[in-house]
Chains A and B, each alone.
Chain A
Amino acid sequence: MEFEVFGNKDTRSGFGEGLAVLGEQNPDVVALCADLTGSLKMDAFQKAHPERFFQAGIAEANMIGLAAGMTIGGKIPFTGTFANFSTGRVYDQIRQSVAYSKKNVKICASHAGLTLGEDGATHQVLEDIGMMRMLPNMTVIVPADFNQTKQATIAIAAHEGPVYLRFGRPVMPIFVKPDAEFVIGKADVLAEGTDVTIIACGHMVWKSIEALKELHAIGISAELINMHTIKPLDEAAILKSVGKTGCVVTAEEHMMNGGLGEAVSQVLSRKYPVAQEYVAVNDTFGESGTPMELMTKYHIDTPDVVAAVKRAIARKSIII
């Protein structure tokens, strides 16, 4: 199986391009940043629309409150900072002023997960998907590549309500078509198969594509789903696929607790219990290193997806 690749870029740049497009398209879009304009690639929006760009400084709690207040005059605020400072640092502000108050704020979070790399564990948030998906009214989106992050950024402006958009730093292959339509809550089936369902999000979608090649070589037919929306979760897509394959592997650059895998297992345990294996970080903090070194060390790399698939298939007969 072959996947067309459209070059290599970081997902955060997809966010920056998407925001710039929104700036031209929608005069109600405003942007806020907490001293990380360059890192978030928000410069283009800032330059083109300085009157709609608000520099909050290193004061994330205030930034979330500002954004919530800005919705009241009818604007659509996009906040930008690292994922760690977009969630854990401001959880209560998001909870009360955004989620509970149902405000139309888009919390855009870069440098998520281990692939932030050398800065180390203080900045490598691996709990953010869990925190955000626990909040009522919150939509949680983890796009897979540059193109999809750009498409998702544009799509969430048209969605009324709080959104958490998670993306990252490393340069990775682009495989989503430049003209693909992003539909919130509608999973993308990237490959059809019969032996196992791989459900991945973010950078782990590319790692799973790589795993498909190895699995194909050893005669395993894997179905791959890009679950870019963690909440609301596309239950129908999961059940349709797992009904066919009978086992599942989830793959995410996040803690096993609280993440995509847990969301999927909640669906399956209620509606169609099957063997599930997790590719995720297992209850540990990260450390300094290059993004790819860290993915290898913390077992969220291509060989880990392959190994998890073998475990899941081996367990099929035991459970069913």
Chain B
Amino acid sequence: MTRKVQIFIMENTALAGIASQVRRDIVRMVSAVNSGHPGGSLGCTDFLTYLYFEQMQHNAADFQMDGKNEDLFFLSNGHISPVWYSVLARAGYFPAAELGTFRKLGTRLQGHPSTDKNLPGIRMASGSLGQGLSVGLGAAQIKKLNQDPTLVYTLHGDGELQEGQIWEAAMYAAANKVDNIIATIDANGRQIDGDVDEVLSLGDLQQKWVSFGWEVLHMDGHNFDSIRSTMQQAKSMTGKGKPVVIIMKTEMGQGVDYMMGSHKWHGVAPNAEQLQVALDQLAETLGDY
């Protein structure tokens, strides 16, 4: 059965407008419960906005767990759940008003993504790091077995690449020619304890992926032209016998000046005063929830 999907090519200004609203959602969500992870969420906002509003073939109105004949996305670095929840809501998976329940007792919007309460758009729990690439590869191999031509996308933190399972999965993907997956690394260079280079350097990340047998692309995660051209290139490289990874340069806290350039807002929420300063920098485009 072919399911109805819609693909748009968006104006950059339209994408930027959505992204601005998503950033407002993020800071309001985390501030309201004085917990959550704004830094990485803000850094991946432009990418996830592009992915859900332009790149992926997906069906927000009729979410199906099996995801047959639509592109799948797995968030491996589950702590940036605020950006995913906001993008899912703004893309139509569930009402934006539900963003106000984030991290509150009984919510479907758990601190880290979960299938436990059946939130549309989520197919796998994540939070304990390093597992999403394996999951994506499993889903990708079954798409091939099912002769389903759609793709699997995953997102990972750069700090997350310190987990050994990522490299088990990387080795497996190339050895088995899993060429219907596009993994993206959020290369913001920061993790909880400081800069990735200081905590546990990843060394030559480009060469690591190359030597593991992956096609490697780079993009600027805050420039929609760069995101679009790189993602289109990545898609054109699928089906050619090699998995594809994109190293995406981002800034933790992008869009909120006092959060940028530091690891300190990885997992700290702004207070009411700080929230107002952030909201003053982010245009309300789609209406706050």
- A residues at B contact (CB < 8 Å): 30, 51-52, 54, 56-57, 59, 61-75, 77, 92-93, 95-97, 100-103
Contact = CB atoms under 8 A, between A and B. Distances in A.
Contacts of B143: 73
Contact of B124 (A54, A75, A92, A101): A101
Contacts of A63: 134
Interface stretch (B12-20, B61-69, B92-100, B231-239): B61-69
A97 B133 CA distance: 12
Contacts of A66: 134-135, 137-138, 141, 169, 172
B165 A65 contact: yes
B164 interface: yes
B138 A67 contact: yes
B124 A69 contact: yes
Interface string B90-124: 00000000000000000000000011100000011
Contact of B123 (A72, A74, A96): A72
Given A73-B67, A96-B127, A68 B135 contact: yes
Given A65-B131, A66-B172, A72 B139 contact: yes
B1 interface: no
A191 B143 CA distance: 49
B145 A65 contact: no
Given A59-B168, A102-B115, A96 B145 contact: no
A90 B114 CA distance: 19
Given A97-B131, A101-B124, A57 B172 contact: yes
A72 B67 contact: yes
B188 interface: no
A15 to B, nearest CB: 21
A166 B8 CA distance: 50
Interface of B: 65-68, 72, 74, 114-116, 123-128, 130-143, 145-146, 148, 164-165, 168-169, 171-172, 175-176
A71 B116 CA distance: 16
Nearest to B175: A57
Contacts of A77: 138
A65 B138 contact: yes
B66 A72 contact: yes
A97 B165 contact: no
- Pick the most buried of A51, A77, A100: most chain B CB atoms within 10 A of its CB: A100
B81 to A, nearest CB: 14
Given A66-B172, A68-B124, A101-B125, A74 B164 contact: no
A69 B142 contact: yes
Contacts of A75: 142, 145
B141 A65 contact: no
Instruction: Give 3 nearest A-B pairs by CB, closest first.
Output: A65-B134, A69-B138, A73-B142
Given A61-B134, A96-B131, A70 B142 contact: yes
Given A59-B171, A62-B172, A72-B72, A93 B131 contact: yes
Contacts of B66: 72-74
A309 to B, nearest CB: 44
A102 B132 CA distance: 16
B136 A69 contact: yes
A228 B123 CA distance: 32
12 contacts: A57-B172, A61-B168, A62-B134, A65-B134, A65-B137, A66-B137, A68-B134, A72-B123, A73-B142, A96-B128, A100-B114, A100-B116
Contacts of A67: 138
A65 B142 contact: no
A64 B134 contact: yes
A61 B138 CA distance: 12
Contacts of B132: 65
Contacts of A70: 138-139, 141-142
A52 B134 CA distance: 17
A95 B136 CA distance: 17
Contacts of A102: 115-116
B125 A65 contact: no
Contacts of B146: 73-74
A64 B133 CA distance: 11
Contacts of B138: 65-72, 77
A71 B145 CA distance: 12
**Which of A30, A57, A61, A93 has the most chain B CB within a 10 Å cutoff?**
A61
A64 B67 CA distance: 20
B165 A62 contact: yes
A67 B142 CA distance: 10
B137 A69 contact: yes
B139 A73 contact: yes
A62 B168 contact: yes
Given A62-B137, A66-B172, A100-B125, 9 more contacts: A51-B145, A52-B145, A61-B131, A66-B134, A66-B141, A69-B141, A100-B116, A101-B124, A102-B116
B172 A59 contact: yes
A61 B134 CA distance: 8
Contacts of B164: 61
A96 B130 CA distance: 11
A70 to B, nearest CB: 4
Contacts of B172: 56-57, 59, 62, 66
A193 B126 CA distance: 50
